[in-house]
Amino acid sequence: MGERQHSKQGFLLCLIFCVLLQGSPSQPGSSHAYNINCTGFDLYGVDPAAFQAVFDRKAFRPVINNSIPTQVNISFTLSAILDVDAQIQVLTSFLWVNMIWENPFISWNPEECGGLSKISVSAKNLWLPDIFIIEFMDVDQTPTSLSAYVYSNGRIKYDKPMKVTSICNLDIFYFPFDQQNCTLTFSSFLYTVDSLLLGMEKEVWEITDNSRDVIRTQGEWELLGINKATPKLAMGSSLYDQIMFYVAIRRRPRLYVINLLVPSGFLIAIDALSFFLPIESGNRAPFKMTLLLGYTVFLLMMNDLLPASGTPLISVYFALCLSLMVLSLLEAVFLTYLLNLIATEPPAMPPWLQSLLLRYLRGCYNKRSQKETRGSGPDPIHLPGLMEPVVMAARVPGSSEARLNGDPGSTRVPLEQQTQGPPTVNLWGKFCLILDSMLFWLYLLFMATALSTIIVLWNS
């Protein structure tokens, strides 16, 4: 307050001088004499002696009254997102940090030196605020020997590039469709609120827009937006000013979709389609075995692309695809075993199964005969032995596929066995085919449910 009153008096006293010199009264120090005589700077260059008093003070915070806090306004431009490491939970980015503060010991009259309003000064000769990023995890790799601009009204503008390795709580559950929200907290290491206050030099939307313009790297991460909050940090009895920036970034998933999801989807589709290979030919189990092997190799190769820690949804998806393949392989093995057993020594069919099977087949036939030849169908009792191969060929996808395959030897034999063999063998054969198609539908149902669950989770 006393300072203010004093400057008011000073203002009144040297009003005339001020008008003559055309110095703005609001500029710091303008009510006093300028403390740097810049005469001749435009003719002979900057005189180091004129700044010597300022340089000698660089060890101390530049204030006249020590109870007045220095206001440091900061902003930054995010110029690159270099790496996001989910294993050690670290975000590596590159920032251009701008800081502006005032030094009341610097003021000169630009009129005296040909309109010279700013001078660049080596930063090591000036007091610098110790602003750092709380999340910092690495040594500061800021290049040394930077310069700062010193303005005639005492403002100092200091910009520095910074490679920031900061801890960030990364959640990779939705990988590769994940978004991350990393915090960069600017704060002073030493000065409490009564010595140093932080302010914004630019608005956050300006920072975001500038960063979007500057980030030219079409890397893996895309900048979504930047938000800020300004809570004070209490440490024991001291209170520190800080500004938190929330940097929201999103992964570009294309690489992972092309390299992980699409091949995996193809393999699982082939696995589903391989149900159309006739089970009697004995080709299906080896085929599925090969597919399973191929999928394992694929997973091994693509393991590097997955985040090394945590369990993302995509790992669940892969495990699901693998288990579907294993299940369908087991089904093929089981049915091959069953068919083999029937061909060598058919066990007696339980009566309940037989009656169920007969009823089912009759139902099938009735539906079919109603559609095609109304009223002129043969006796339903004879149906299982005579007509069934035709009916089954229409129902089970494998049989029609086999005929297209042009491998008559393998398919014809079991069919003939079915038509000529004893009734139990025929019934068992039909049972296998029905079981196969039932399990196929079950497999499809399970696959559809699981995949749609995962897709819904990914979209949420």
Ligand X SMILES: *[C@@H]1O[C@H](CO)[C@@H](O)[C@H](O)[C@H]1NC(C)=O
Residues 66-125 that bind ligand X (CB under 6 A): 67-68, 71, 73, 100-102
Nearer to ligand X (CB atom), residue 158 or residue 431 = 158
Residues 157-216 that bind ligand X (CB under 6 A): 181, 199
What is the closest distance, in whole angstroms, from the C-beta atom of residue 316 to ligand X in the complex?
A: 24
**Plot region of 115 (φ>0 → left; ψ -120 to 50 → alpha; else → beta):** left
What is the closest distance, in whole angstroms, from the C-beta atom of residue 112 to ligand X in the complex?
A: 7
> Look-up: residue for tokens 């990023």?
133
Nearer to ligand X (CB atom), residue 101 or residue 298 = 101
Residues in contact with ligand X, shown as a per-residue x/- string from 1 to 30 under the rule CB under 6 A = -xx---------------------------
**Choices 62-70, 79-87, 282-290, 407-415; region in contact with ligand X by CB under 6 A:** 62-70
List, in order, residues 6 or more apart from 173 with CB less than 8 Å away: 310, 311, 312, 313
In Å, how far are 67, 99, 284 from 198, measured between CA atoms? Answer: 16, 10, 71
Give CA–CA dist 358/419, Å, rounded.
16
**Choices 37-45, 84-92, 328-336, 379-387; region in contact with ligand X by CB under 6 A:** 37-45
**Choices 32-40, 121-129, 144-152, 158-166; region in contact with ligand X by CB under 6 A:** 32-40
Nearer to ligand X (CB atom), residue 227 or residue 315 = 227
Half-sphere exposure of 237 (CA within 13 A, CB side): 0
Q: Are 331 and 443 in contact (CB under 8 A)?
A: yes
What is the closest distance, in whole angstroms, from the C-beta atom of residue 93 to ligand X in the complex?
A: 16
Q: Binder to ligand X among 65, 144, 237, 460 (CB under 6 A)?
A: 65
Closest among 135, 451, 170 to 308, alpha carbons compared: 170
> Look-up: residue for tokens 């369908």?
328
Total of chain residues touching ligand X, rule CB under 6 A: 20
What is the closest distance, in whole angstroms, from the C-beta atom of residue 56 to ligand X in the complex?
A: 19
Q: Are 103 and 62 in contact (CB under 8 A)?
A: yes
Nearer to ligand X (CB atom), residue 168 or residue 285 = 168
What is the closest distance, in whole angstroms, from the C-beta atom of residue 47 to ligand X in the complex?
A: 8
Nearer to ligand X (CB atom), residue 110 or residue 278 = 110
Q: Does 40 bind ligand X (CB under 6 A)?
A: yes
Residues in contact with ligand X, shown as a per-residue x/- string from 392 to 421 under the rule CB under 6 A = ------------------------------
Q: Binder to ligand X among 35, 39, 125, 192 (CB under 6 A)?
A: 39
Closest among 54, 188, 201 to 121, alpha carbons compared: 54
Give CA–CA dist 278/404, Å, rounded.
11
In Å, how far are 69, 188, 305 from 128, measured between CA atoms? Answer: 14, 11, 43
Q: Binder to ligand X among 37, 147, 283, 437 (CB under 6 A)?
A: 37
**What is the widest separation between alpha-carbon atoms in the chain?**
126
Nearer to ligand X (CB atom), residue 248 or residue 434 = 248
Residues in contact with ligand X, shown as a per-residue x/- string from 225 to 264 under the rule CB under 6 A = x-x------------------x-x----------------
Q: Bridge-partner residues for 407, per DSSP?
A: none
Q: Are 122 and 55 in contact (CB under 8 A)?
A: no
What is the closest distance, in whole angstroms, from the C-beta atom of residue 436 to ligand X in the complex?
A: 50
Give CA–CA dist 455/460, Å, rounded.
9
Q: What are phi and psi of 282, to 5 degrees?
A: 75, 10
Give CA–CA dist 240/231, Å, rounded.
9
Give CA–CA dist 40/168, Å, rounded.
53
The binding site for ligand X (CB under 6 A) comprises 2-3, 37, 39-40, 65, 67-68, 71, 73, 100-102, 155, 181, 199, 225, 227, 246, 248
